[in-house]
Amino acid sequence: MDRNEVICINKYDRYYFEKYALLSICHLLDLNIEDFEHKDRPDLQSETLNMGIEVVRAITEHDGLVNSLVGKYFNKGVSGDEVIDLINKNNRQSRFKGSVYSVNGIAVLSDTKGLYNIEKHNKLIKEKIQQKSLLSEHYKRYKVNGLYCFAHTSWLNESGYSDIIDECKRSAFNLVFINCEDTILQWDASLSSFTEHEVSKCLAEWKQSAEKMNV
């Protein structure tokens, strides 16, 4: 993958995630994708269904950099030592704060230099719900006002689910999806807990369909 291809993918990240969110929502709720339009404030709107969905990513700038490094250098047919050299060469401003090393010729990347704190994901999700709830007063309102949040991890701390649900209840949204990679958590105003959807069989199809939007 050359630099131009990386820039191209980053440029269309927003549309990729919005399309991915829409595909999964229509699958879970048995809705017609043609009833939605890609707009702004909120991102996905349907006059037919009286529904609007805002799409957000609960990810830090550093985690986004880690994802970019993985996509740029891993599984590209180069050795672990070459991956390390490339990352070190292009990280002269020390933006990457994790560690990368080689095991039996295979590069291993960690986004931290110490223990991994899974609590950060719960905290990021709650912060995004708060932020988007405040901003939503400037959005077009529908009967169903939803938020779709990409957690970018499957390592959510289940003991913290109740805190996330409390944040949902305090928000301006009456429908919330949290994408935990192979599982999607769903909450609506009538629920006191998450409905969990196992979606691993759909991931490849959704990814391919979402990528087509970038062409």
3-state secondary structure of 8: helix
Rounded Cα distance, 37 and 15, in Å: 12
Rounded Cα distance, 159 and 153, in Å: 16
Rounded Cα distance, 116 and 119, in Å: 9
Q: What is the pLDDT of residue 174?
A: 97
Q: Tens digits of per-residue pLDDT, 102-154? A: 667 665 555 655 545 567 889 999 999 999 999 999 999 999 999 999 998 88
Terminal CA-to-CA distance of the chain, rounded, Å?
A: 16
Q: What is the pLDDT of residue 157?
A: 81
Is residue 207 within 8 Å of residue 199, measured between CB atoms? no
Q: What is the pLDDT of residue 48?
A: 98
| C-alpha distance from residue 140 to each of 32, 143, 205 (Å) | 21, 10, 31
Q: Could you say which residues of the chain have pLDDT below 50?
A: 1-12, 115, 215
The four Cα atoms 31, 174, 200, 213 give a dihedral, to 10 degrees, of: 60
3-state secondary structure of 200: helix
Q: Tens digits of per-residue pLDDT, 84-94? A: 677 667 665 55
Q: What is the pLDDT of residue 185?
A: 97
Query: Which domains, ranges and CATH numbers included, belong to the chain?
Result: 3-59+117-212 (3.40.1540), 66-110 (no CATH)
Q: What is the pLDDT of residue 150?
A: 95
